[in-house]
Amino acid sequence: MQLGPGSVPPRDGPPPAVRVRDLARHYVVHRKAPGVLGSLRALVRREHDLVRAVDGVTFDLAEGEIVGFLGPNGAGKTTTLKLLSGLLHPTAGEARVLGHDPWRRDHVLLRQLSLVMGQKNQLWWDIPARETFLLNKEIYEIPDRQYRESVDELVDLLDLGRVLDVQVRRLSLGERMKCELAAALLHRPRILFLDEPTIGLDVVAQKAIRQFIDAYRRRHRATVILTSHYMDDVKELCERIVVIDHGRVIHDGALAEVVAAFAGYRVVEVRFDRAVARADLEAHGVVAAHDGATATLHLPREEVSARAARLLSSLPVADLTIEEPPIDDVIRQVFATGRGRAPEPVDSAVAPT
């Protein structure tokens, strides 16, 4: 479903768990040409660019819903999650999370939400995760019994038994991420903002984290916004996606619609025993890249098996893999609207927002 700015699909029933209207966060950044001359010139006349990190975002999330928040690098996903967690103040617009204004940093709300960032550590490195858990127990004032139940539940769901008592810096990336999630969920938040929780993990660890997110959400009816550049995360967890680009929502609707739209081809990486001619490859499909004995082809999805078989029988193939198109490419293809806007120069008198 394509939506214009400020519009949301009409919904009946209880009030949304998350309600966002025309939310914006702009930054004014100094522009300086490189080198000494650039520095001198900046002394005389300061020039600024306006970066519209989030530029009028509107959507609703029902209680218990999970939505995949997608978009290319720099689209404004992390900024939106920080705004909704109350870490940043907006330039304009409004948001309600469980009926609260997140920027008031109301304890009632803070105890019900968690922001987990795959790129940032919240655990203390030099002590075992269990000790950070105890710290969080105090911060969130979790009663003893609930704390014990929470730890037991999380240890069970995340298979954390041995890991909790090892110094965090000695853990593998996957084990650390599991502990990060557990630490962020001890107080059983009803709202979860997950910013690339599986980044850098191997496929086994990614799967474990995904299964955990799903189990937690179902068990506690949590409302979740998940950002990820891994299509598998989104495919397995989210029926609905919100696509953001240049700080604006350019798509809000069922993932199935998007898959149907982009899934026209699959990416086939081939390595040959010797160099092959481009013309021989073009007979099989669209040649996206070609360098002597390696090539990337785009083959129509419904014919990919037959075409790959033909490729194997007619050319000296040493290795062949078939993959989904990268999610960034897909998003760029399907939602080509709104792209290519350069930062706008603003008057140097504008105060930073």
Q: Name the site residues for Mg ion (rule: CB under 5 A).
A: 77-78
DSSP state of 85: T
Should residue 29 be labelled a site residue for ligand ATP when binding is judged by CB under 6 A?
Answer: yes
Instruction: Give residues with Cβ within 8 angstroms of 87, minimum separation 6.
Output: 115
Should residue 78 be labelled a site residue for ligand ATP when binding is judged by CB under 6 A?
Answer: yes
Q: Which residues, 48 to 77, sit near ligand ATP by CB under 6 A?
A: 51, 53, 71, 73-77
Which option in ligand ATP, Mg ion, none does residue 79 bind, with CB closer than 5 to 8 A by kind? Answer: ligand ATP
Question: Are the C-beta atoms of residues 185 and 155 closer than 8 Å to each other?
Answer: no
Which option in Mg ion, ligand ATP, none does residue 27 bind, with CB closer than 5 to 8 A by kind? Answer: ligand ATP
- Residue nearer to Mg ion on the CB measure, 77 or 187: 77
Q: Min. distance of Cβ 53 from Mg ion in angstroms? A: 10
Which option in Mg ion, ligand ATP, none does residue 176 bind, with CB closer than 5 to 8 A by kind? Answer: none
Question: Are the C-beta atoms of residues 17 and 192 closer than 8 Å to each other?
Answer: no
Cα separation, 311 vs 320, in Å, equals 10
Count the residues of the shown chain that bind ligand ATP, applying the rule CB under 6 A. 12
Strands 113-117, 191-195: pairing is parallel
Q: Min. distance of Cβ 253 from Mg ion in angstroms? A: 22
- Residue nearer to Mg ion on the CB measure, 16 or 72: 72
How much is the CA Rg of the chain, to the nearest whole Å?
24
- Residue nearer to ligand ATP on the CB measure, 118 or 174: 118
H or E stretch including 262?
helix 255-262
Q: Min. distance of Cβ 117 from Mg ion in angstroms? A: 8
H or E stretch including 36?
helix 35-44
- Residue nearer to ligand ATP on the CB measure, 171 or 331: 331
What's the CA angle centered on 74, arms 68 and 77, to 5 degrees? Answer: 30
